[in-house]
């Protein structure tokens, strides 16, 4: 780790360079190599991506690299491919046959290592199961599982037969499942009895059963037995994973699918109460995740890679399942909480498995910081060579702590900016080439034409805040919002003609580094997870006592942002501590524990404009600063605000 000399203004502002040895061994060994390839990728994107795509296994070569009718892209038109074959068969049937694909550790401490050959057999068997149970190409299959290898097996098996998976994070509650079943039209569900989290069983199948009281047209539910908690099985609909797998053949031919065959729908929060189903397709997504694993993580056969995300988020899709497996990587997968039985768990696992590349989230790093540096110091972390961060801006304090106490001052950190919609990493250091300054995701990846624009569409000058945009299509980009092309166009492509708006505010410093400031829309980033304020509000108004609700974010030391809500009650309901707690619990039960408000204020009225719109901006100011200094001339009734201000200040 040597801070660039002369004289960094303060240690938090310093540049960190990769070691000479790291750079020398890296695929992109210096800035000049990055710049050269980047310029090529931008001036001749089709040639660049076609060359990269030759490293994949194709059933039929494409006839056209890109068909771009903004905002709809088709990549590798005319090609036939199977992503599961690329992630599994090609390793299982080659020199990587006996290489470990997954070292898995359950939260109670149970371990399994699965080779590519074994993974291949599991995936083939489950693909046969799906077909036997009536799943057809293009059918949507919901996956609601804990972090067990079978979750990856289920995803890969869907991809193998051309079914479209929609994975729902195991922390979501039954109402969220209902929404996603309705929107996706999934008729098949893969789940487990439960999963382990902080020493307790988190039931999953019972949550599905609850959702299926409302959605009655689901044909089959296959349940993995993980925890042994009691579950009910409905005759004719519900099957045990072990029963159906017992007789399934290990032979299965992967379907030859169009490059643009839909691969998955993943729901993410937006500015309305309904999450958006982001649709990703096959070849471009595979290429994006593969190429970023190759250059950003500089993955090698000898690496032991560990991404701590959950499979229910895009990070789990792209950087646990598809990207690393396309590279034939060996990875660690962990079921449980980072602090079980204590915050030393990850460090002991890194020592045990000899992890070389570690990819986690700033919120986790801040929690580790708080738990103290003695915990990482108690484990041997010298196997690590590269660290990564994703999900939200990483504050420089957390960055330097991560660098020193986890990376031993020796490992480059790739701070990777991307989104569910972008599919793969977009702005990031390349570990052997980039000078890294804590807090910035630095430079765009190959083929990514990122810029920061002002309202008029002009590029911002250094130091000026604007909107982060991408000006050219890229292979792993979302293709649409499932079932809602109009919303896709409006949400991402309507600010500037033919240009993708990410929804993030950003600026570039005088050296050209991209600094991501945060969301510009009504989306919160709580512990690296996206939450729509409108979703939280709809959950609250679904409670019989609530008349109106407004949710806003406020800064939080560990989570990045915390959720504060204001509610007005219907006539006949009284403010009370019991109701306060009940409403918080209600949001958790409605959406999932991640959405539970941190603060809840009862209000006699909410600040509104004369046309009746809730002025969230004022509420935000109130919870962030305790006072309102902004413009309130459009406010309909000033007394509402005065009453609220007294409340917020009193509680703080």
Sheet of 58-60: strand order equals 58-60, 80-81, 257-258
Is there a contact between 168 and 312 (Cβ–Cβ < 8 Å)?
yes
Q: Contact region for ligand WT7 (CB under 6 A) — 127-135, 242-250, 417-425, 627-635?
A: 417-425
Q: How far is the CB of 625 from ligand WT7 (least distance, A)?
A: 22
Beta strand extents in 443-497 (DSSP E only)? 450-453, 466-470, 480-481
Distances (CA, A) of 589 to 82, 104, 198, 543, 553: 38, 30, 19, 11, 20
Q: Contact region for ligand WT7 (CB under 6 A) — 57-65, 148-156, 190-198, 501-509?
A: 501-509
Q: How far is the CB of 281 from ligand WT7 (least distance, A)?
A: 17
Is there a contact between 325 and 101 (Cβ–Cβ < 8 Å)?
yes
Phi and psi at residue 424, to the nearest 5°: -135, 170
User: CA angle, 447 as apex, 442 and 451 as ends, to 5°?
Assistant: 50
Interhelix angle 45-53/31-43, nearest 10 degrees: 110
Give the residue with the Cβ less far from ligand WT7, 49 or 417.
417
527 sits near ligand WT7 (criterion: CB under 6 A): no
Q: Contact region for ligand WT7 (CB under 6 A) — 97-105, 409-417, 449-457, 533-541?
A: 409-417
Q: Contact region for ligand WT7 (CB under 6 A) — 66-74, 384-392, 607-615, 636-644?
A: 384-392
- Binding to ligand WT7 in span 106-125, by CB under 6 A: none
- Which residue of this chain has its Cβ atom nearest to ligand WT7 in the complex? 420
Binding mask 249-268 for ligand WT7 (x = CB under 6 A): -------------------x
Q: Which residue among 79, 391, 473, 597 contacts ligand WT7 (CB under 6 A)?
A: 391
Give the residue with the Cβ less far from ligand WT7, 344 or 528.
528
Determine how many CB atoms are found less than 10 A away from the CB of residue 135. 22
417 sits near ligand WT7 (criterion: CB under 6 A): yes
Q: Contact region for ligand WT7 (CB under 6 A) — 129-137, 238-246, 320-328, 500-508?
A: 500-508
Distances (CA, A) of 476 to 270, 422, 424: 20, 6, 6
- Binding to ligand WT7 in span 428-457, by CB under 6 A: 441
What is the signed CA dihedral for 111, 112, 113, 116, rounded to 10 degrees? -150
Q: How far is the CB of 393 from ligand WT7 (least distance, A)?
A: 4
Q: Which residue among 166, 360, 363, 420 contacts ligand WT7 (CB under 6 A)?
A: 420
Q: How many residues bind ligand WT7 (CB under 6 A)?
A: 21
Alpha-helix residue ranges (DSSP H) falling in 29-94: 31-43, 45-53, 83-84, 90-92
Q: Which residue among 390, 452, 569, 622 contacts ligand WT7 (CB under 6 A)?
A: 390
Beta bridge partners of 166: 142
Q: Which residue among 502, 546, 579, 640 contacts ligand WT7 (CB under 6 A)?
A: 502
**DSSP 8-state symbol, 63:** S
419 sits near ligand WT7 (criterion: CB under 6 A): yes
52 sits near ligand WT7 (criterion: CB under 6 A): no
| Joined tokens for residue 548 | 């109106």
**DSSP 8-state symbol, 11:** G
480 sits near ligand WT7 (criterion: CB under 6 A): no
402 sits near ligand WT7 (criterion: CB under 6 A): no
Is there a contact between 494 and 488 (Cβ–Cβ < 8 Å)?
no
Q: Which residue among 183, 193, 298, 504 contacts ligand WT7 (CB under 6 A)?
A: 504
Q: How far is the CB of 181 from ligand WT7 (least distance, A)?
A: 21
Query: What's the rounded Cα separation, in Å, for the pair 223 and 242?
Result: 8
416 sits near ligand WT7 (criterion: CB under 6 A): yes
415 sits near ligand WT7 (criterion: CB under 6 A): yes
Among the listed residues 485, 520, 528, 521, the one whose alpha carbon sits nearest the alpha carbon of residue 272: 521
Q: How far is the CB of 175 from ligand WT7 (least distance, A)?
A: 20
Chain residues that interact with ligand WT7, rule: CB under 6 A: 268, 314-315, 390-393, 415-420, 441, 502-504, 516, 519, 525, 530
């Amino acid at each position: 780790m040597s801070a660039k000399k002369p004289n960094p203004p303060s240690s938090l502002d310093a540049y960190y360079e990769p070691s000479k040895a790291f750079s020398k061994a890296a695929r992109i060994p210096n800035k000049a190599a990055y710049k050269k390839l980047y310029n090529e990728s931008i001036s001749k994107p089709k040639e660049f991506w076609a060359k990269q795509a030759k490293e994949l296994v194709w059933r039929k070569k494409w006839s056209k690299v890109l068909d771009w009718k903004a905002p709809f892209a088709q990549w590798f038109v005319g090609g036939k491919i199977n992503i599961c074959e690329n992630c599994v068969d090609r390793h299982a049937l080659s020199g990587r046959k006996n290489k470990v694909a997954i070292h898995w550790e359950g939260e109670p401490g149970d371990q399994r290592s699965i080779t590519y050959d074994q993974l291949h057999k599991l995936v083939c068997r489950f693909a046969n199961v799906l077909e036997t149970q009536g799943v057809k190409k293009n059918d949507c299959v919901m996956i609601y599982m804990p972090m067990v290898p079978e979750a990856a097996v289920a995803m890969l098996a869907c991809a193998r037969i051309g079914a479209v998976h929609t994975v729902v994070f195991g922390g979501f509650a039954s109402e969220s499942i209902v929404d996603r079943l309705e929107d996706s039209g999934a008729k098949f569900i893969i789940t487990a009895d439960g999963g382990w989290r902080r020493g307790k069983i988190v039931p999953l199948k019972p949550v599905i059963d609850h959702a299926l009281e409302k959605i009655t047209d689901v044909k089959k539910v296959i349940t993995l037995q993980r925890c042994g908690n009691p579950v009910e099985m409905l005759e004719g609909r519900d099957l045990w994973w072990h029963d159906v797998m017992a007789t399934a053949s290990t032979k299965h031919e992967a379907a030859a699918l169009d490059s643009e065959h839909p691969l998955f729908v993943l729901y993410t929060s937006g500015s309305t109460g309904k999450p958006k189903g982001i649709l990703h397709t096959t070849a471009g997504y595979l290429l994006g995740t593969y190429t970023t694993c190759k250059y950003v993580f500089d993955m090698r056969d000898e690496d032991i890679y560990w991404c701590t995300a959950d499979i229910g988020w895009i990070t789990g899709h792209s950087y646990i399942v598809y990207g690393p497996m396309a590279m034939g990587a060996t990875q660690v997968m962990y079921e449980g909480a980072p602090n079980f039985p204590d915050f030393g768990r990850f460090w002991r696992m890194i020592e045990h498995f000899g992890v070389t590349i570690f990819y986690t989230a700033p919120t986790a790093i801040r929690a580790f910081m708080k738990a103290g540096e003695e915990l990482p110091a108690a484990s041997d972390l010298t196997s690590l060579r590269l660290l990564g961060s994703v999900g939200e801006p990483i504050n420089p304090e957390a960055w330097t702590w991560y660098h020193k106490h986890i990376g031993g001052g020796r490992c480059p950190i790739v701070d990777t900016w991307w989104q569910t919609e972008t599919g793969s990493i977009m702005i990031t250091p390349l570990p052997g080439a980039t000078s890294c300054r804590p807090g910035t995701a630095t430079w765009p990846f190959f083929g990514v034409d990122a810029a920061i624009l002002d309202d008029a569409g002009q590029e911002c000058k250094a130091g000026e805040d604007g909107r982060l945009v991408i000006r050219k299509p890229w292979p792993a980009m979302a293709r649409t919002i499932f079932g809602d092309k109009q919303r896709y166009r409006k949400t991402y492509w309507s600010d500037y003609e033919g240009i993708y708006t990410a929804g993030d505010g950003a600026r570039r410093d005088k050296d050209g580094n991209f600094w991501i400031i945060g969301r510009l829309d009504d989306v919160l980033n709580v512990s690296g997870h996206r939450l729509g304020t409108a979703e939280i509000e709809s959950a609250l108004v679904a409670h019989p006592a609530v008349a109106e609700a407004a949710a806003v974010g406020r800064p939080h030391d560990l989570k990045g942002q915390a959720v504060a809500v204001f509610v007005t009650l219907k006539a006949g309901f009284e403010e009370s501590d019991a109701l306060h707690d009940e409403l918080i619990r209600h949001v958790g039960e409605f959406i999932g524990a991640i959405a539970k408000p941190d603060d809840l204020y009862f209000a006699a009225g909410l600040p509104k404009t004369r046309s009746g719109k809730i002025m969230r901006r004022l509420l935000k100011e109130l919870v962030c600063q305790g006072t309102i200094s902004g413009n309130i001339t459009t406010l309909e009734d000033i007394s509402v605000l005065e009453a609220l201000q007294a409340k917020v200040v009193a509680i703080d």
